Amino acid sequence: MASLTRFSVKPLSTMTRQLAAVAAGRADPDVVIKGARVLSTYSERLLADREIWLTGGRIAAVKPSGAHKGSAARIHDARGSIVAPGLVDPHIHIESSMVTACAYAEAALLNGTTTIFCDSHEIGNVMDVGGVEAMLEDARQAPLSIFLTVPSTVPATSPRLETAGGDLTAAKIAALFDKWPEAVALGEKMDFVQVAMGDERSHAILAASLERGRPVSGHVYGREFVAAYAASGVTDTHEAIDREIADEMLEAGIWLFLRGGPPTTPWHSLPQAIKTVTELGASHKRVAVCTDDRDAHDLMLFGLDWVTREAIKAGMTPQQAWAMGSLHGATRFGMDGEIGGMGGGRRADLVLLDDDHKPVSTWYGGELVVEDGKITPRLDEALSTRYRYPDAAYHTVKLPKQVKLTPPLPTGTVVAHTIKTELPGITLGHVTVRLEPAKTWQDHFDKHGLCFVTVVERHAKSAGNVAYGLLSNFNLKRGAVASSVGHDSHNIIDVRAFMPGPDGPLPPFPKPELLKLPWPIRLWRWPWWPWWWWWYCWGCISAKRAQQVFDAMSATSCAPLTVPAPCIPFLYPDDGCWARAHEMCRLMINMGLSPRKVWIDASTHLHVNTKNNPNCFVEWGWHVAPTLCVRGPYFFQHQEMVIDPSLFTTPVSKATWKGVQGDPGATLTDTDATQFWHGGGDDPTYSNTNYYLNVYRLALQARAVQVGPPPYAYCP
Ligand SMILES: [Zn+2]
């Protein structure tokens, strides 16, 4: 029997005379599907009593019931059902399902999906061009229409953080486009900060796609970046998490792919983002639905058909939702002449639906591949011979014979920066713990709820590099678990509890040093009081001097439209307080002062009214500002005053500072000026400080350009 792939249906250019003959009634169709209600994605109507004429794997015509008079055609009785075009998934990663393209095809067809646009970003990160090309060979042999959006951001992070197996330069990406016609677009350009900041490599990759007339897919968080992103030629995104950013992207000319994911995860952003249509009145004509990533198990539970039904649940009509699941993805990639609807000449990729819009049967290129929810013998046979990946693909884990998976036990007191895990699992926390000397790791783990996490690099160029860390809140008490699957570099992550065993001799237990307490007994005698005061308030400044320092800080505030470095973006209070605080401390230290910092952590959330945000408020989980010791208001007194020009015009007490942040249950923590990150860690060279100051200067500038410079006079 003939193979069943995307190429089983001949190109339209070779079939027009045959199709015209059938549509005009001069020749008999191969297949007639009778008595169906047709879901039209073109007019978004349900058309009663139609029959669909197929020939050579394409739709010749959709006609009123009873139009077919011939006798040669195979008749399929679809009475009572809805027939709709096969679903088109405009953005997925096959590797996330940990199956090959051929295996993915089976699950897709069962869900009524007949075309996918995949981004083989993960195999690209492991095997570079070789992996992407192997997957393209796999895709060509699969019974599914698979197009490639060429991975655009490999490696996905800085090589200073970890080593990936791939390095897809602009030249390699250009060569992929030129060699593979199914490479129809550039895949999600996820380094949106670099794109917005004009990074040379990122823009060379964009150019490789644009100069070949291929569109660019995106991935962006943060409204501040939308304008620069659109201006860089990006024309779709699947990362809109709420209706406001969704709205902004639509207006910037960016197609919106609403992502549905398992409902307990943060990936299920569709119900929020779709409100741009259901609440803000935007048209859905440039809105599609997609799946992005699926565990193999979830493929059958949360396929694109399920996402489409979620769109119905969120308020779209079934016809609108199905158009978002088929025609719109096709149109976005310029393929609506071939797929996404049931017009004449289109591929006969069809789905038969029940009244709940659940797929019952699927035709792929005119062949029945799923019938009553089960794959047909035709598909079973097509799947029995599958593409085999080259041997190299099975040998991508390169490790030395011995890798030590746990770090040595610290002998003295150390501060450990641990990674806090938290469900649903997309965001990690940073928690510092103080490890006093102990006999074994078990003592630390019991006390702080920790376990080991070790990353072992597995790519040839870095094989065996090991980094040790500690996880908190992971609740692993015994045993170990490891994975070589981890977006994006796919290094090996090993998580384990403490296992007693030969691990070298235990270090001697150090004696804790007794703390030498000063005992200022003499100070009780009255003649010493003034000296005591000077000693106690040493390093503190007058209230007048504090105001001068405050004004010096305010004077560095960025002009919103030009943001000349080294200005401080006080007028962008949304984010980046840690960089502002660190820069202020640097300036104060240069002025001969001894600043400290105060950190506030919300019990629920911090809410501050401000004229410097178009919403007239900002919300934080935490915030930080420098403090200075200020003498007064009375003799013998001093207090730490907070210097925070993002909120105030004068130094304020910590109580006042906390008071405006609207969360009486919030907690304050004092640290010295060297702490840079929330939770610990310094930045002695100010490289991180400068990086983040620049990010938020640009964010301020972007906002000023878009909605006008702050302050916003309409705010109360
Ligand atoms: Zn993606």
> If you write DSSP's letter for every residue of 494-510 in order, what string do you get?
EEE----S-SSPPPP-P
From the CA of 300, how far away is ligand 1's center (Å)?
A: 19
Shared domain check, 211 and 92:
yes
Shared domain check, 193 and 137:
yes
Rounded alpha-carbon distances, angstroms, from residue 455 to 414, 470, 475, 482, 554: 21, 11, 19, 10, 44
From the CA of 92, how far away is ligand 1's center (Å)?
A: 6
From the CA of 188, how far away is ligand 1's center (Å)?
A: 6
Cβ pair 208, 177 in contact under 8 A = yes
E strands, 414-568, are: 414-420, 429-435, 450-456, 466-472, 480-483, 492-496
Q: Write out the H or E segment, with its range, that includes residue 200.
A: helix 200-210
The pLDDT score that the predictor gives to residue 263 is 87
The pLDDT score that the predictor gives to residue 464 is 83
Q: 36 lies in a domain? A: no
CA distance 625 to 613: 19
When divided into structural domains, the chain yields a total of 3
Q: 610 lies in a domain? A: yes
From the CA of 292, how far away is ligand 1's center (Å)?
A: 5
Shared domain check, 308 and 434:
no
From the CA of 115, how far away is ligand 1's center (Å)?
A: 16
Shared domain check, 185 and 116:
yes
CATH number at residue 244: 3.20.20.140
Q: 501 lies in a domain? A: no
Cis check: omega of the bond before 488, within 30 degrees of 0: yes
From the CA of 269, how far away is ligand 1's center (Å)?
A: 13
From the CA of 211, how far away is ligand 1's center (Å)?
A: 23
CATH number at residue 681: 3.10.620.30
| Residues forming a β-bridge with 419 | 430, 471
Give the residue ranges of the chain where pLDDT is below 70. Answer: 1, 425, 501-539, 633-636
CA distance 71 to 87: 31
Q: 573 lies in a domain? A: yes
The pLDDT score that the predictor gives to residue 71 is 87
The pLDDT score that the predictor gives to residue 243 is 93
From the CA of 94, how far away is ligand 1's center (Å)?
A: 10
Shared domain check, 177 and 298:
yes
Shared domain check, 380 and 428:
no
Shared domain check, 288 and 201:
yes
Q: 283 lies in a domain? A: yes
The pLDDT score that the predictor gives to residue 538 is 53
From the CA of 293, how far away is ligand 1's center (Å)?
A: 7
The pair of three-digit structure tokens given for residue 557, joined into one six-digit string: 């505030």
Q: 515 lies in a domain? A: no
CA distance 321 to 39: 11
Amino acid at 414: V
Shared domain check, 653 and 612:
yes
From the CA of 128, how far away is ligand 1's center (Å)?
A: 18
Shared domain check, 434 and 381:
no
Shared domain check, 261 and 142:
yes
From the CA of 257, how far away is ligand 1's center (Å)?
A: 11
From the CA of 93, how far away is ligand 1's center (Å)?
A: 6
From the CA of 217, how far away is ligand 1's center (Å)?
A: 10
CA distance 35 to 82: 9
Q: 138 lies in a domain? A: yes
The long-range contacts involving 171-180, CB below 8 angstroms and separated by at least 24 positions, are 171/208, 172/128, 172/129, 173/205, 173/208, 173/209, 174/208, 174/212, 175/129, 176/129, 176/132, 176/133, 176/148, 176/150, 177/150, 177/208, 177/209, 177/212, 177/214, 178/212, 180/133, 180/136, 180/148
Which residue range(s) make up the domain with 585? Answer: 540-707
From the CA of 438, how far away is ligand 1's center (Å)?
A: 45
Shared domain check, 189 and 141:
yes
From the CA of 316, how far away is ligand 1's center (Å)?
A: 24
CA distance 498 to 442: 6
From the CA of 418, how far away is ligand 1's center (Å)?
A: 28
Strand order in the sheet with 287-290: 87-92, 113-118, 145-150, 183-189, 216-218, 234-237, 255-259, 287-290
The pLDDT score that the predictor gives to residue 564 is 86
Cβ pair 88, 280 in contact under 8 A = no
Q: 444 lies in a domain? A: yes
The pLDDT score that the predictor gives to residue 528 is 40
From the CA of 591, how far away is ligand 1's center (Å)?
A: 48
Rounded alpha-carbon distances, angstroms, from residue 116 to 84, 137, 353: 17, 15, 20
| Residues forming a β-bridge with 443 | none
Shared domain check, 128 and 270:
yes
